[in-house]
Amino acid sequence: MSFREKTAWISLISMGGIYGFYFWSLIASGRRTDAHAAGLLGTIIALVVVQTVLTIAVAIFDPNSAQAPRDERERLIDLKSARFAYSGLATAVAFAIFFAALPSPIIFGANSLLLILVVCELMRSGCQIIQYRRSA
């Protein structure tokens, strides 16, 4: 498994797990906005720490691959994955604009946009992994 594929797995699992927990706790806490703000800050810090530590750990075991620039196949996989995620982003934003017209608290709108971004990032990482696996 290449370094880029490992980082895609790190991104998918860490984002899925940490943001999954955040959105689950958001639903559980109801409409308490102070809990939302603290939870979001903690989520971002946890995500940065987990991704940084895991990426450094992977790079220590395979320093040559970690330092090497992306080759043409990896760049192509990145481009295809970004295009796939962008189509999801464009669709979700169109829905978000439609639902923004409905009366709802600002925290709901902000979390909806965050959810869209997280889902699109998960789509991007997932698409990368599928393509790496297909051409492995």
Partner 1 sequence: MATIRNEIRRLRFEHGEMTQQELAEKIKVTRQTVNAIELGKYFPSLEAAFRIASVFGKPLESVFHYSEEEQS
When the beta carbons of 2 and 25 are compared against partner 1, the nearer one is: 2
Stretch that binds partner 1, among 46-54, 70-78, 83-91, 118-126 (CB under 8 A): 70-78
| Residue 79 found at the interface with partner 1 (CB under 8 A) | no
Give 43 or 81: the residue with its C-beta nearer to partner 1. Answer: 81
- What SS3 string covers 36-100? HHHHHHHHHHHHHHHHHHHHHHHHHHCHHHHHCCCCHHHHHHHHHHHHHHHHHHHHHHHHHHHHH
> Cβ contacts of residue 131 below 8 Å, gap of 6+?
77, 80, 81
- Rule CB under 8 A: is residue 71 a binding residue for partner 1? yes
Residues 95-134 that bind partner 1 (CB under 8 A): 132, 134
Q: Hey, CA dihedral for 58, 61, 62, 63, is it positive or negative?
A: positive
Does 55 bind partner 1 (CB under 8 A)? Our answer is: no
Binding residue (CB under 8 A) for partner 1 from 53, 57, 68, 110 = 68
Would you call 36 exposed, middle or buried from its count of C-beta atoms within 10 A (0-12, 13-18, 19+)? buried
Q: Which is nearer to partner 1, 62 or 119 (CB)?
A: 62
Q: Tell me which residues touch partner 1 (CB under 8 A).
A: 2, 5, 65, 68, 71-74, 132, 134-136
